Amino acid sequence: MAQVRSTIPANVDNVDKLVTALIDKNVDEIQPIWPRLFKKQSTGKKFERIVTVAPFGDVPEKPEGEEYATDLIEQAYTKDVTPIEFGLMFEVTETAEEDDLENILAKKARFLVFSMRQVEDKNGANVLANGFTTQTTADGVALFSTAHTLKKGGTAKNRPSSDADLSVTSLQQAFIDLDTETKLESGQLAMPAKGYYLVVAPANRFNALKIINSVKDPESANNAVNPLSDLDITVIVNPFLTADTDAWYMVPKDKDANGLLWLQRKPMMQPPPMTDARTGNRLYKLRERFVADSVDWRNSYASVGA
């Protein structure tokens, strides 16, 4: 489907007018959100196999003169992560480009990049939004679950036993769970991440900011200091979280403690333009290969809301 002059008549006639476009000098793009939430890794392979490991269990007592007990480091779970290919082409006639009086078609590269950035953030948001159902980690369980099965026995959770809307109480429970449920595949407790992004939909923006930034206990006559205000929590409002506006998510700021993976096979690129020999139409392409995925549940936490 080629862009012709009649697609935007106002761009080619000689009547005085002002033609504007969405992403123009007076309108800014949404700054990419996913780089703050995902650990980016480049790959030269068709896919990457993520392998988790179960270390030793607790050291047992050893009576004097008795043999040492033995233990093994075991492979736990695996997950194959495969980048997806995305691409779009803009085809325009020679005539339409020649008569581009308002330089709308000349902004094709900017519009193509804008479209791809939207796709990137939508894919990143889907990892969180689907984290209660179809988005799994290496253990084969939903990213946010009350029943992550540990390789050497037992379970752990990164979701409240009873889902709740965002509040001081539900966030306090989240940190209790992070302190007591961040377990290795051996069942041993590990130190949770220290700083977090609290990711919410726009409908939850003001509630989140009030809860995190209030000096005193919010929504209460209690004059106690708000304990959350002393924690390293930054609110991120993600407008691409549209499926459930009550859900809220906690993602560690430390990328090394983060199980959200952005696997990049080929970065966003625009190959040199080509000309269709039969029509003279100019062809402009944009291409990228990546996938947003989750490989480990630890240090992430979320609730679907009440």
- SS3 (DSSP) at 38: coil
pLDDT per position as a tens digit, 138-197: 999 999 999 999 999 999 999 999 999 999 999 999 999 999 999 999 999 999 999 999
Residue 240: count of CB within 10 angstroms of its CB: 20
Q: What share of the chain is helix, strand, coil (3-state, %, to 5)?
A: 25, 30, 50
Tokens read off for 59: 């050291």
pLDDT tens-digit map of 84-119: 999 999 999 999 999 887 788 888 998 999 999 999
**Integer-rounded Cα radius of gyration of the chain:** 25
Nearest to 191 by CA among 256, 140, 144: 256
Question: Which tokens in the block code for residue 191?
Answer: 């130190």
Whether 15 shows a pLDDT value over 60: the answer reads no
Question: Which band of pLDDT confidence, cut at 50, 70 and 90, is reported for residue 201?
Answer: very high
Per-residue model confidence as pLDDT tens digits over 263-296: 999 999 999 999 999 999 999 999 999 999 999 9
With contact defined as beta carbons under 8 Å apart, do 15 and 235 qualify? Answer: no
Q: How far apart (Å, rounded) are the C-alpha atoms in residues 11 and 107? A: 13
3-state SS assignment for residue 98: helix
| Residue owning tokens 């209460």 | 220
Query: In b/e form, how buried is each residue of 293-304, taking b as 16+ CB within 10 angstroms?
Result: bbbbbbbbbbbb
Q: Which residue intervals of the chain are DSSP H helices?
A: 34-37, 94-98, 108-129, 168-181, 205-213
Cα(299)–Cα(293) distance, integer angstroms: 15
> Nearest-5° angle of CA 187, CA 193, CA 199?
115
Q: How are beta strands 195-200 and 232-237 bridged, if at all?
A: parallel
Give the pLDDT score at 112.
Answer: 94
Q: What is the pTM of this model?
A: 0.90
Only one residue has tokens 């862009």, namely 3
CA distance linking residue 267 with residue 83, whole number of Å: 11
* pLDDT bracket for residue 3 (50, 70, 90): confident
- H helices of 32-167, in order, are 34-37, 94-98, 108-129
Closest CA to 156 of 164, 143, 146: 146
How far is residue 292 CA from its own chain's centroid?
A: 7
153 backbone φψ class: left, alpha, beta (φ>0; ψ -120 to 50): left
